[in-house]
Structures are given as C-alpha cells and as structure tokens.
Amino acid sequence: MSALKIITQTYLNKFSNTTKLIRETINKTCKQIVIIPSYCEPELEKTLNSLLNCVQPTIITEVIIVLNCAQGDAEAKEFHKKQKTELEQLFTVNGNLVFHFILADDLPAKHAGVGLARKIGMDEAIRRFEEIEYDGLLVCLDGDCTVNKNYLVELEKLATNPETYNTICLHFEHDIENEKDETLKKGIIYYELFLRYYKEALAYCKFLYAFQTIGSSMAVKASIYCKAGGMNKRKAGEDFYFLNKVFHYGKVIELNTTIVYPSSRISTRVPFGTGRAQQNFIDKKDEIFETYSFQSFEDLKLFFSYDLYESSFDLNSVPPSIKHFLVENNFENKLNEIKNNTTSKQQFQKRFFDWFDAFMLLKFIHFARDNYYPNKAVGSEATALLKKKENSFPTTNEKDLLIYLRKIQIKLSNFN
C-alpha cells in the first residue's frame, strides 16, 4: 500500500461520516477537483457556466456540486431536486470538465451549513483521488462566484506538480465596477478593503501566516487535507478555522495570476462573512465601516521583533496590550516549553507560530480592541498602514485604497 493511500484511508476511516457518493469511475488523468457547496443558490448555473467558459485544462478536471439543506427543510429540498434535474441536463461532461451533483438534503439541523457541505464534497474528492492514488488538488469555490478565464489552467500548473505546494490562496476581487446598487457597491468596497487591510497588517507585523482566508478562493493538496483532519462542520468561519490548520504544514502559495469574483449580495444565513457584512452595513444606515485599530498591529510588530529564542524576555518591555494578553494566556510557561522542545531558531519559530497562530492572533486583536484600542474607520486605518510603507499616501478614498492594496497583493510586495 502506498504512503498516500495509507494517509487517505486513515482519514476516511476516522473522520468521514459518508460513504462513496459518486458511482462513476474517476479518469486516471484527473489531478484537480473543484468543490462547490450550494444552498438554494439561484446563481449556481452562472457559476458553472463561468467554469465552462474557462480556457479548457489539458487534464480532466472534475466539479463536485453539493446541493445541501437540513432535515425537514421541505422548500429547499424541492428547490434542489428540481435544480439538480435541470442542471444535470446542461452540465455532464464538457471537454475536459466532468460535473457531478450530490444531493445532501437530510443533514442534521445542528450541523447543516457550509462547513458540512464543503466537507461532504471534499471527502468525496479524497475518495476519488484515492482510487487513482494521486495527491490531487481540492479547489474550493462557492455557488455565487464567477472566475477568470484562466482559472482552471493556472490551477492545473500546480495540480500537476503536487510537490511544489500544500495550500493555495487565490486572488479574489469583488466586482465593484458592475454593481448597480450604490449602497451594495459602497458596502463591498468597505468590506474588501477591511479584508485587504487585515492581511497587509499581518504582513507588516511579520506574522508568519499573512494570508487571506476566503472559502471561495482556497485550495489544498489531498494529503494535507487528510493530515489536518479535513474540513470542519462549522456553519460560518469554516474557511478561517480550516486554513489555520493547514497553514501549519507550510508551503502556502498565493496564486495571483487568476481571479475569483465573489458575490457582493446581502445574506443573513451566517453570522459573519461577505453577505452578513453587507446586511450589517445597510442596517446601520450610515457611511462608517470600522475595523481594528492599526495600533494593535504596531504592538504586535514590536513583540514579534524580539529574539525570543536566544534572549531573555521581559514582559515589561512590551506595550501594555501585549503584556496583559500574554499574562492571561500563560505566556512565560509556554515560552519555556517551546524553548525546551526546540534545538534551533528555525524550529523555535515554527513551534512558536504553531501556538501564536491566526486564531491566537485574532484573539489578541479582539482583546486589544475591547481593552485598549477601539475600532476606527477602515479608510483611516488603511491609510495609517500605507503611510508606514510610503511615509505618505495622498488619499483616504476607500475605493482608491482598495485598488492600491489589490495591486500590492497581486505583486506579492508585502512589507518587509
């Protein structure tokens, strides 16, 4: 038995709660599978056509669509049944694209949601790659997104070279130019600016995992998916928690040569995310969109600049926000434990950021917000960040700031 098969079988036996769902045999040349969870999604056909309109990959690419809802949701069940019948007539095998529709319409109400739906599709992709013993690429997309025409071929370059990556974060852009509703347009500019500000602030303070955590623009290698214990069943934030696990395996690549275009619509299905942010913005009926104070990241930058491995550390040498957070999280004991279990600076850094990971960092940001630095307008904080890089930035216009940060992140010119 191959090493990969041991990994996939161990995962499926321990963590998967479904059996084989797709009867058709996978083509041996398949190296990437796109997984799309969909709940009563009216734009799903548009998403699938977007994939169909891509430059065709040279290898077989499968697309698994998971039409999902909770037990007892009769309206959604009927919608999906009809949608599946209609879409299966339009999308079966088209060139090198093979479409599979999974009807998961009896999910436990406690867990029914995007996390479980992604898990069902991704677990099925693992089963299919296991059949051909290939460490293939699991690509996550959402049923209300469109993609650039080179999306599949750019992913293919990595899928055919699995040794070059573990996790992929794809570039995304909300379509602000074609949004006709001015309120939605303004809201999505603010929200995407917040996402890009947060990522650049992480890079500015030298955080090891300064990457976007967007469910519709992430991909992972099959073996890493299994080693990390697979996708969680969270109804919201599943992408953040999942990526926080797989980042620890290293080899994270930012794919900025193609673009995912997420929807900018309103949604109340989940407590946070794009749709909820849009709804909250509209409900407030004002023009202020607040984000974390840049001072929190300045404090982190100072903390991360200390040589914790080779030098003694004095809690009184860091800002009060850092000091009190570290005390609350038993840092001195944790630091000694990490030091005692590492024999090089490289090992120390890896183990330190396995502890002070994206979840712990966000926990600090919320602690600092609640006790030291209240949220401020996203435009002012993004400007403060950029001033640190260029000494001055001529505008606080949110749209201009967003476009500028997009360019920075496409070029991978994170602050050094």
Domain map of the chain by residue range? 3-177+209-264
| The pLDDT of residue 271 | 45
CA dist list (Å): 296 to 74, 271, 292, 355, 359: 47, 24, 7, 19, 15
User: Which regions in the chain score pLDDT beneath 50?
Assistant: 266-268, 270-281, 413-416
Q: Which long-range contacts (CB under 8 A, 24 or more apart) does 340-344 make?
A: 342/309
Q: Is 116 exposed, middle or buried (0-12, 13-18, 19+ CB in 10 A)?
A: buried
Q: What is the DSSP letter of 412?
A: T
pLDDT tens sequence across 159-206: 999 999 999 999 999 988 887 788 888 889 999 999 999 999 999 999
| Secondary structure class of 115 (helix, strand, coil) | helix
Q: Is 313 exposed, middle or buried (0-12, 13-18, 19+ CB in 10 A)?
A: middle
| The pLDDT of residue 265 | 56
| Secondary structure class of 360 (helix, strand, coil) | helix
In the CATH scheme, what is the homologous superfamily, with its name and number, of domain 3-177+209-264? Spore Coat Polysaccharide Biosynthesis Protein SpsA; Chain A (3.90.550.10)
Q: Are 220 and 171 in contact (CB under 8 A)?
A: no
What phi and psi, each to the nearest 5 degrees, are found at residue 243?
Answer: -65, -35
| The pLDDT of residue 181 | 82
| Secondary structure class of 342 (helix, strand, coil) | coil
From CA 199, how far away is CA 364, in angstroms rounded?
A: 15
Helix or strand (DSSP H, E) at 137: strand 137-140
What is the length of the chain?
A: 416
| The pLDDT of residue 182 | 83
Closest CA to 78 of 103, 111, 61: 103
| The pLDDT of residue 413 | 40
pTM listed for this prediction: 0.92
| The pLDDT of residue 272 | 44
CA dist list (Å): 379 to 163, 176, 383: 40, 17, 6
| The pLDDT of residue 392 | 65
From CA 248, how far away is CA 224, in angstroms rounded?
A: 10
| The pLDDT of residue 284 | 56
Helix or strand (DSSP H, E) at 107: strand 97-107
